[in-house]
Amino acid sequence: MESETFPIPEEILNGRGTERLHKVVRHLVPDCHVRFVLSESGSAKGAAMVTALAQRLESQRKEIDDTLATFALSPTQLQEVKAKMRVELERGLKKDSHPTASVKMLPTYVYRTPDGTERGKYLALDLGGTNFRVLVVKIQMLSYFHICLNKILLFQLFDLIVQCISDFLDYMGMKNTRLPLGFTFSFPCNQTGIDKGDLVSWTKGFKATDCEGYDVVDMLREAIKRRNEFDLDIVAIVNDTVGTMMTCAYEDPKCQIGLIAGTGSNVCYMEEMNNIEFVEGDEGQMCVNTEWGGFGENDNTEDIRTRYDREVDGGSLNPGKQRFEKMTSGMYLGEIVRQILIDLTKRGLLFRGRITERLKTKGIFETKFLSQIESDRLALLQVRSILQSLGLDSTCDDSIIVKEVCGAVSRRAAQLCGAGMAAVVDKIRENRGLDHLEITVGVDGTLYKLHPHFSTILKDTVRELAPNCKVDFILSEDGSGKGAALITAVIDKYLYAMRFSDETLRDIMARFRREMENGLGRDTNPTATVKMLPTFVRSIPDGSEKGDFIALDLGGSNFRILRVKVSHEKKQTVQMENQIYETPEDIIQGSGSRLFDHVAECLGDFMEKQKIKDKKLPMGFTFSFPCAHSKLDEAVLLTWTKRFKASGVEGMDVVKLLNKAIKKRGDYDADIMAVVNDTVGTMMTCGFDDQRCEVGIIIGTGTNACYMEELRHIDMVEGDEGRMCINTEWGAFGDDGTLEDIRTEFDREIDRGSLNPGKQLFEKMVSGMYMGELVRLILVKMAKEGLLFEGRITPELLTKGTFETKHVSAIEKSKEGLTKAKEILTRLGVEPSEDDCIAVQHVCTIVSFRSANLIAATLGAILTRVKDNKNSPRLRTTVGIDGSLYKMHPQYARRLHKTVRRLVPESDVRFLLSESGSGKGAAMVTAWASRKCPSACPGWLFVGDPV
């Protein structure tokens, strides 16, 4: 312990009592104004105040306890729930009472569980809850279940499902394989066969029209037939509970019950055929889908329903229906808690009596918050942090109360499920005439998996209510490792939001086409996001180019300098020598003078090594940023992109800035005759090899496109004859909100953390600079929700930029991708399972596939414009492409080409990879410039103009 002594002057110590006390205090704490108040009534009044406060707190505590007591179920009440459930199970099986039974007991026509002899490869769909899934199951499953995708609430539900199947089969390379298909359809269906199911009614928020009362298998078959791209043998339709039971039965032959405890709640089990009166046959067993979510619709649970249950029911899409599900499933528990919190706050028992607007928002308190708040490892301070993230200004006392509320609601849900399960296992025991039953329940669902106490309470309740049954619970891993991983990979709706139908892609084409028109118009160009900048390049190479040229290529953290020699001794040949120089981050983010001094220094070094410092060679400058041209050798930078932020450059002519830096050195001279964008350079490079090339695209760190436009359509440039290359600067597509409906929460997070928020939004959705970060953000969210890595998140995974786009390319390689995924995730501190690796691979696929599809849509708009300009029934053209993403990603090019051909069917498009980058193209432009205007190219320079 450390201390310090302060002396008190003698005159203070010698004062009177109270005066002395006051002076001592003022002396020791001179910066504080302390007021002394004399108690007129001694300490008795204070004691009374403490007593009054204690009484008020005790009264408040009693109110809270009384509220939560309505959720506490006594052993007697649980026995009554079990008995009532048992009655409804029996009523659902009887021919006479089945129509009015709240528990529908639907036959599934599944007569047995797996016995281990199943072999083969199967396709499976899983529609139900918040996700729709698609996967391939190999060897280890029956043909009537498994595969994953996302939930849709549209009239064209089955057409969209088939679109997703098509994409999945394309991704798996199985379009020409006719596989048996199992359809997991997690809604009440009347089945008359294993492959027939008439939808009784939608549940879990689904409301797609023209489906109820119809055979969903027929609707799926018709949608497949309309698409006419592949054929599937639909063998079976089953409920998700049946799928769960069958999955677990493969691992444990005693598994004869399936339980879903997640977004919805349901149970199936193997019933004796002689008890199912409305199905023919008395021998053997059949799996019955209980649809126990409807339990209580005949008011036999009214004694345990609370006013909060009634409020949630009244505000649902199906008031009066699925009452048991609304008390037990993840879709509603968070909303029940929210209703309780509002009530307690109104009564002044929570949050100082203040109800925030966010607390008034339906659905704001998600069921996952219950799982987080009830975690034994979560301190009250962390609970308070969760509440504050919901806009709730809470105290530690508030946190304790909210934790108690969550516990009361989730405990009741688990106990009710346990009471229902006890009814089922006791029925099975009695069916078989056994004194003691040993049986296994296969379980799936996020509530069971993620809630820290749900499974324990459920098991304890079953044990207490069915003492003559030994019940084991096995968690469903959804069959093979690949099946489980793909389910995980697409488990959230945001991944579906990254997949587009052809209809959506054509809509994006139309939007981009309108933006092109705006950019070309004199009046609309100032407000257009796609700037459509004239380049003053009037044609592609024609084979007559020759000479010795220097080309600079600046567009990323590295830039190239090339020497290009074009000769015509026997045939036209091109010799190139180049060197790559690094541009440090401090220069990229520094001043413009430092940037161009650095370029000039590297150019001097290159010329020194080439021994051409004494020569004044024509020079082309590939400058890969949006510039306004008034002639070929002038380029005014409009805005930096791709992390560049060098000051004092925007609004300036970059040619003048570079000339100034070269002149300041004084050790060599240069004649910069042409400035082109990298897309123009790419088009010209490929045009040297294929004179049909009239479009150039970059798909790398950044993305952009150029194409040859009719001069008569370019309002900003005088003249109507001939063509001119237009630099679209399509990276800014969507900056005006045009793409808001297809941007995801991850796109917005990427944008917020960028150097230029609100700008280059299209580029941030598709380019290599952002793709890896998009994947990282998705993986972090999935891990936080317990869907990956067992919920573990490492500091490395949380660090921006650690998941690079090159990792996406490596992970998507067909043979070694999963091995690469494990290596990469291990370097990020994650210990991934095989399922995790497959899930991550699928996330990478979704993100990169979206990029290819969006690029295909914008390119499709350009190609249709070129076709219309030519007034030709069929377009024959070549697209020159460069960029690391296009080159290095193993699947990207194939996906892009296929989608373009689908979106622009009346075309023969050749995609030509630029083997020597855009520098060669800049040299080709310079060759024309030096031949047509050898002095200084005053005024316009139209490359390709006749002499």
Active-site annotation, residues? 560, 624, 678
DSSP 116-149: S---SEEEEEEEETTEEEEEEEESSS-TT---EE
8 Å CB contact between 456 and 111:
no
* Per-residue burial over 768-787, b = 16 or more CB atoms within 10 Å of its CB, e = otherwise: bbbbbbbbbbbbbbbbebbb
Which residues face 674 on adjacent strands?
Answer: 620
From 821, 539, 475, 868, select the one nearest 680 (Cα to Cα). Answer: 539
User: 250 is written with which tokens?
Assistant: 């493969």
Q: If residue 637 lies in a helix (H) or strand (E), which one and from where to where?
A: strand 634-637
Helix axes 745-752, 768-784, angle to 10 degrees: 120
Distance CA 251, CA 248 (A): 5
Number of CB atoms found within 10 A of residue 912's CB: 21
Distance CA 334, CA 371 (A): 10
Number of CB atoms found within 10 A of residue 315's CB: 11
Distance CA 765, CA 729 (A): 15
Distance CA 257, CA 287 (A): 9
User: 748 is written with which tokens?
Assistant: 């917005």
From 369, 340, 372, 375, select the one nearest 355 (Cα to Cα). Answer: 340
User: 4 is written with which tokens?
Assistant: 């310090």
| Burial of 746 from C-beta contacts in 10 A (0-12 / 13-18 / 19+) | buried
From 501, 498, 504, 505, select the one nearest 861 (Cα to Cα). Answer: 505
Distance CA 391, CA 389 (A): 5
Q: In whole angstroms, how far apart are CA 473 and each of 328, 435, 762?
A: 18, 20, 48
Distance CA 426, CA 467 (A): 9
Q: In whole angstroms, how far apart are CA 837 and each of 667, 794, 816, 833, 846?
A: 56, 16, 12, 6, 14
Distance CA 820, CA 808 (A): 10
